[in-house]
Structure 1
Amino acid sequence: MGNIALNRKRRNKEKYKRIFVLLFFFIVSNSILSQGNKKIENILADSLFNLSSKNILAGNFKKALEHVENSLEIYKNLEKASSIGNCLSKMGTIYYYQGNFTKALSLYDESITYFKKSSYKKGISFSNNNKGAIYYYLGNYPKALDHYKKALKLHEELGNKTQAAGTIKNIGGIYLELEDYKNAMSYFQIAKKTLEKSLDTKTLSQVLNGIGEIYTQQGDYKNAEINFKEGLQLAKKTTDKQTIIEVLIGLGKLYNLQEKYKESLMYYKQSLQISTEINSPIFTSISKVAIGGINYKQGKNKLAIKTCKEGLEIAKKIKVISVQKDAYENLYKITKGIHKNKSALDYYEHMILLEDSLNIKKTTDKILNMKFEKQLLLDSIAHVDKEKKIQIRHLEEVNEKEKQRNVFIGSVFLVLIIAVGLWNRLRYTNKSKAILQIEKDRSEHLLLNILPEEIAQELKEKGYVDAQDFDKATILFTDFKSFTETASKLTPQELVEEINVCFKAFDNIMETYSIEKIKTIGDAYMAAGGLPKPSINSVKKTIIAALEMQAFTVKRKLENDAQGKPAFEMRVGIHAGPIVAGIVGVKKFQYDVWGDTVNTASRMESNGEVGKVNISQDVYELIKEDKEFSFEYRGKIKAKGKGALEMYFVSKTQL
């Protein structure tokens, strides 16, 4: 029995051993197979990514996007953060070339998140550089410069001299746009020196193009032509058609200024042909508007109008204001010359409106460089500190005199005089402090009535306030209908009281929903949501506030009607988008906002209806999924200076 049991035990042991060996080989083989599959998937993803790059150079953006999206899915499965970041950055570039700047910026931001996860500084630098390029095209030079400097810092840390030179070139481009030719030339020459030692003919071509532009602006046409033509030769050696287009446009502009229209037209037509081939709406619109301008100078008015309008429509779609302004200017000159005064006036109004939008960047530059002088500080918070120091110094002098007097009078009266002196000093100090505190409180209260709390705090700490860019703020405008007619039925005192009742109610609503009142202009009321502190709910809060403002106005009218008093009816308009905010003035300063978003919000109000809240397409897109609101589509409505805009009435959903 013992042997039988022993044999059974041995057989079981052998059996378990075989099972273990088989299991081991199964696990190992699966691991090897899995590693092999991952390697194959990685090779496939790399191939798709490279194909997307080739399609971008060929201008086939649809195919390029398809390849890079497929590549992205594989990299996500492989959990390769840096490769995911590269795909997102590539997608951003595709959307950038197609003029979809908002989508491109979003993708570059997302790519930076993945690059940071993998500590891939090179990727972070490239995405920042590309973001700078977008803000450059949009005319937001302070923001472009900020991103370029971030990219440059990373390039220098990594020792990437060629890439650093490319970013230095971009910074030079900003100074060129700001017409600071001295600094622009300085940056371009630094970049040129580095690039001449490298194989990066594309970036060197762009630098020579920038130098040519400086000479063009300065009227040195000979040196401009030398640099442009050298840049064109280098650009043609590359496969990057974007660079070729940029130099061709530079040459077209140069010959146009010299009234050599035949040569200018030749280069612009070449740039248009390549722009069309690679489906680049930015350069297509620039080329068409420029060609239209030359056609006008050659007396071909009909062709000039047609070409300028084609360029204008493309520029509108991609929201490039500078090209739109040039198109309207050409159309104004043409129609004025052929005595179509009504059309000319319409084009002129559009041109002026866009010029105002372009001048915002100049206003921004002034605000960014604004430094409040010492007089401002004396008139506000610092005045309190100065007075306090004077009072303390005065008390110290009094105390010193008292001590000297005590010495002469004698030791008998010393204790008494010191006691009296200390008592007087304490009482005087307390009285001074009380007076100073009252003045300080009054000053602070006045400042907070004028400025937002954060802005007032910055002003007190620094003596000036930096302007701020907001990617998304919600602007609200109200206006009373038939104000002049209603006001004529009231005495001046009654009119002021009625407006005051309404505006006080509006102020309380703004405070309830943390919306910043900007200003009142006559019977108009302007406010902004999402600043100075950005908020994800600012759009929704602004709409709710607008509905409550309308509800108050309707209720107020019913009350006045019952008493036989005149009452106001109101329109409200809302639009959301990018703005610049800052302080204007030195003594009677004011917190204000600028940007095309403000103009559009004003158009929403003027095209609204009494008792309703009119919103833009952009606002609708941001809140259309919110079940708390109902919407009434109004179609496309022509707005002064803006063309046909899609509008909606918004209201609270009835439960």
Structure 2
Amino acid sequence: MESLYTIWEDVNEPDSTRALALYDYIYEGPFYSAPDSALVMANQLYAFTKETKYDKGTVDALNLKGYISFRTGNYSDAFASYKEGLSLSEKINYKLGTADILLRTGFIYHDNEDVVNALKYYQKSLKIYQEIDDLDGIGSIYNEFGSIYSVKGDFEKALEYYLKSIAINMELDDEMANSAQYINTGNLYLNKDDYEKALEYFHKGLAIEKERNDKLGRASALSGIGSVHLEQKNYTEALNYLESSLEISESVNDVQGSTSILISIADLHLDLGNNKKAIEYCKKSLALAKTVGDLGGQEYSCECLYEAFRAIGNINQALAYHEEMILISDSIQTEETAIKLQQIEFSKQVLEDSLVQVEKDMEIQMRHQAEVQKKDKNRNLAIGIGLIFFLLAVGFYIRWRFVKKSRAILEKEKNRSENLLLNILPAEIAEELKEKGEASARDFELVSILFTDFKGFTEKSAELSAAELIEEINDCFKAFDLICEKHGIEKIKTIGDAYMAAGGLPVPSENSVLNTILAALEMQSYITRRILEKENTDDFTFEMRLGVHTGPVVAGIVGVKKFQYDIWGDTVNIASRMESSGAVGKVNISQETYELIKDNPTLKFTYRGKINAKGKGEIDMWFVEKI
């Protein structure tokens, strides 16, 4: 490839024209075919424009650097370039550069499914594009709005915005700019099962991407065509297109795209009964999804592996991936809850901004009326002013009623968000998180840890469908939740078929040990009753072991995006051994727990002697029951 330095010297024009020519050269050439080379050249362009103090060129170079980094998945570098470019463009009042950078910053948030922040940047960008009458920019924003409505499942709105964007590019005589819109529209029709329309738009996009040699674009179009053939059961055609797409995605290190394509190929092999092939592709997709934190890809890959291993009779592996899939699904639900909270907060901020603007408008209008009264005391004008005041008063009254109603709606939404947060975290921790923005880990000297585990869960899972298995576990865990709430102990988490709770945190209590034991006894009583009920109906349920140990722990929030309250310490490990060393239908407790409640007259204890616990040696254990 020709050196950028040579090209710079060959352009016998002012620096501004040179910079523009180089920008076009990079964007139309190596940007699509060789992103790594394009990034090197963009850095050189940045150096030239800085050296010649051509600020607009520097903004364009930073914009280009950021966009190349974004397309290759390097979001941190993209953010850094955009931040520097935005600061400079606002300083020199370069509106087009500002709008372009705001739009592309929105791309990053959109790509990471943070729609709230993506919309903030899109709306700021759209306002500037409309102000400078830049149709190309407006068309790009319409395309992104279409993608947002597509994810929400609003087909009509999504199609409306995609077609608006396409129409603008047609008006600008820039058919080449429609490739993304065509591919997006193809995906829209694919989701509606309109395969003929989907293929029409995918092929349109593919033709453009081939012409401009955009590897990522070609991979996306080929994947779309392969997906259509897969839905139509045209397996040979589907595999050809999907493998071609995968080859391109891997060549440009497009991890997100490769993950999606690997899952589609795995689905194809599952349909054909090639279970070993399906396992091979699902494992690859799972590994890639984990490298980029793609929870959706991880969940689907685990589901695929569960189906494939179950089909070949490897029940243990199938169960392991099924449990992993459930854990990932829980994380996704927690993340969706956090997004809902974000959206509520965003709506609240929008309304508050509107109220501030109303107050400013009122102040401006009142000053204007005062000036009019002062300048002209004519009676007819005074009547007119009075009429204006009357109309303003009516308007303000209507606005006041609207604001009052909006505040009531906000209060309702706030209460909903509070309830969502309390479903994730203990009340005290949630309150600290809201006040300080963080919740510190704490040491607790006396906490009783409760563990339960279902006997024969693995064997039963081989006999039952996933739906039956999950339904039974869910019924039991819902009952345990109510028992924990009744006795004032905190549910910590579920791990597969295991249930973990703790007494004495996040607020220590004198009765926490007794309350934990009472909760444990009630859980075993519930399971005993359930077994008797199920025997009468020939339905299945599980027998259960339950163990309790008391001691010091550290407790706090895990993570920064998907909050989870968790506890650590050797006390947790010993509590787990109490459960695994226990007996079906019994509550097994440690010597430490026994010493704290042995004088309670309502409880009866049976010494079991020293029991060998895995990794902990011999431990004194007791069975406890109610008198």
Q: TM-score range by the shorter chain?
A: 0.5 to 0.7
Letter in structure 2 aligned against 1:341: I
Tell me the equivalent position of 2:411: 463
Q: Post-superposition shift, 1:179?
A: 0.9
Say which of 448, 463, 477 aligns to 1:484: 448
Tell me the equivalent position of 1:205: 179
Tell me the equivalent position of 1:287: 261
| Secondary structure of 2:208's aligned partner | helix
Aligned length: 399
Question: Could you say which structure has the larger radius of gyration?
Answer: 1
In the aligned structure 2, how far is the partner of 1:476 from the partner of 1:222? 56
Tell me the equivalent position of 2:202: 228
Deviation per CA, 1:38-73, whole angstroms, max 9, x where unpaired?
999878877775665443322342x33333333333
1:176 aligns with 2:153: no
Unaligned 5+ segments in structure 1 are 1-37, 372-457, 488-495, 501-519, 527-548, 550-565, 580-594, 612-655
In the aligned structure 1, how far is the partner of 2:81 from the partner of 2:437? 21
Deviation per CA, 1:294-352, whole angstroms, max 9, x where unpaired?
12222222222222222222222222332222222212211122222232223223323
The verdict on how the C-alpha distance between 1:350 and 1:114 changes in structure 2, with shifts beyond 3 A counting, is farther
Say which of 86, 110, 114 aligns to 1:136: 110
* Mapping for residues 58-457 of structure 1, pairs under 5 Å: 58-61=33-36, 63-359=37-333, 362-363=336-337, 367=341
Letter in structure 1 aligned against 2:82: Y
In the aligned structure 1, how far is the partner of 2:135 from the partner of 2:225? 29
Deviation per CA, 1:93-145, whole angstroms, max 9, x where unpaired?
23222323243234323321121112112122222222222222212222222
The verdict on how the C-alpha distance between 1:358 and 1:157 changes in structure 2, with shifts beyond 3 A counting, is farther
Q: TM-score, normalised by structure 1?
A: 0.53
Is the contact made by 2:19 and 2:57 (CA closer than 8 Å) also made in structure 1?
no
Letter in structure 1 aligned against 2:448: T
Say which of 31, 34, 49 aligns to 1:56: 31
In the aligned structure 1, how far is the partner of 2:84 from the partner of 2:437? 21
Letter in structure 2 aligned against 1:354: I
Letter in structure 1 aligned against 2:552: E
| Secondary structure of 1:179's aligned partner | coil
| Secondary structure of 1:215's aligned partner | helix
In the aligned structure 2, how far is the partner of 1:109 from the partner of 1:102? 11
Tell me the equivalent position of 2:498: none
Is the contact made by 2:89 and 2:97 (CA closer than 8 Å) also made in structure 1?
yes
Letter in structure 1 aligned against 2:148: I
Deviation per CA, 1:14-56, whole angstroms, max 9, x where unpaired?
xxxxxxxxxxxxxxxxxxxxxxxx9998788777756654433
Tell me the equivalent position of 2:385: none
Q: CA RMSD in A?
A: 4.2
Letter in structure 1 aligned against 2:411: G
| Secondary structure of 1:570's aligned partner | strand
Q: Post-superposition shift, 1:247?
A: 1.8
The verdict on how the C-alpha distance between 1:200 and 1:240 changes in structure 2, with shifts beyond 3 A counting, is farther
State the identity %: 23
The verdict on how the C-alpha distance between 1:158 and 1:311 changes in structure 2, with shifts beyond 3 A counting, is same
Say which of 552, 559, 565 aligns to 1:569: 552
Is the contact made by 2:99 and 2:129 (CA closer than 8 Å) also made in structure 1?
yes
Letter in structure 2 aligned against 1:180: D
In the aligned structure 2, how far is the partner of 1:193 from the partner of 1:68? 31
The verdict on how the C-alpha distance between 1:81 and 1:210 changes in structure 2, with shifts beyond 3 A counting, is same
The verdict on how the C-alpha distance between 1:357 and 1:168 changes in structure 2, with shifts beyond 3 A counting, is farther
Tell me the equivalent position of 2:358: none
Tell me the equivalent position of 2:479: none
The verdict on how the C-alpha distance between 1:325 and 1:57 changes in structure 2, with shifts beyond 3 A counting, is same
Tell me the equivalent position of 2:351: none
| Secondary structure of 1:463's aligned partner | helix
* Mapping for residues 575-586 of structure 1, pairs under 5 Å: 575=558, 577=560, 579=561
Is the contact made by 2:249 and 2:258 (CA closer than 8 Å) also made in structure 1?
yes
Letter in structure 2 aligned against 1:463: E
In the aligned structure 2, how far is the partner of 1:575 from the partner of 1:100? 26
The verdict on how the C-alpha distance between 1:195 and 1:357 changes in structure 2, with shifts beyond 3 A counting, is farther
Deviation per CA, 1:568-624, whole angstroms, max 9, x where unpaired?
4112456553x4xxxxxxxxxxxxxxx3xx24x74xx54x6679xxxxxxxxxxxxx
Is the contact made by 1:476 and 1:575 (CA closer than 8 Å) also made in structure 2?
no
Is the contact made by 1:76 and 1:84 (CA closer than 8 Å) also made in structure 2?
yes
The verdict on how the C-alpha distance between 1:245 and 1:336 changes in structure 2, with shifts beyond 3 A counting, is same
In the aligned structure 2, how far is the partner of 1:251 from the partner of 1:477? 51
The verdict on how the C-alpha distance between 1:228 and 1:359 changes in structure 2, with shifts beyond 3 A counting, is farther
In the aligned structure 2, how far is the partner of 1:124 from the partner of 1:203? 20
| Secondary structure of 2:553's aligned partner | strand
Bigger mean CA deviation after superposition, 228-237 or 266-275 = 228-237
In the aligned structure 2, how far is the partner of 1:326 from the partner of 1:360? 17
In the aligned structure 1, how far is the partner of 2:261 from the partner of 2:171? 33
Q: Post-superposition shift, 1:480?
A: 5.7
Q: Post-superposition shift, 1:243?
A: 2.1
Letter in structure 1 aligned against 2:302: Y
Letter in structure 2 aligned against 1:194: I
Letter in structure 2 aligned against 1:569: P
Tell me the equivalent position of 2:369: none
Q: Post-superposition shift, 1:91?
A: 2.5
In the aligned structure 2, how far is the partner of 1:57 from the partner of 1:188? 22
Q: Post-superposition shift, 1:186?
A: 1.7
Q: TM-score, normalised by structure 2?
A: 0.55
The verdict on how the C-alpha distance between 1:109 and 1:329 changes in structure 2, with shifts beyond 3 A counting, is farther
Is the contact made by 1:98 and 1:279 (CA closer than 8 Å) also made in structure 2?
yes
In the aligned structure 1, how far is the partner of 2:155 from the partner of 2:149? 7
* Mapping for residues 637-652 of structure 1, pairs under 5 Å: none
The verdict on how the C-alpha distance between 1:522 and 1:42 changes in structure 2, with shifts beyond 3 A counting, is farther
In the aligned structure 2, how far is the partner of 1:481 from the partner of 1:215? 60
Q: Post-superposition shift, 1:282?
A: 2.1
Unaligned 5+ segments in structure 2 are 1-11, 346-405, 422-432, 452-484, 490-500, 509-548, 573-627
The verdict on how the C-alpha distance between 1:183 and 1:567 changes in structure 2, with shifts beyond 3 A counting, is same
The verdict on how the C-alpha distance between 1:172 and 1:321 changes in structure 2, with shifts beyond 3 A counting, is same
In the aligned structure 2, how far is the partner of 1:461 from the partner of 1:172? 28
Is the contact made by 2:275 and 2:311 (CA closer than 8 Å) also made in structure 1?
no
Letter in structure 2 aligned against 1:226: E
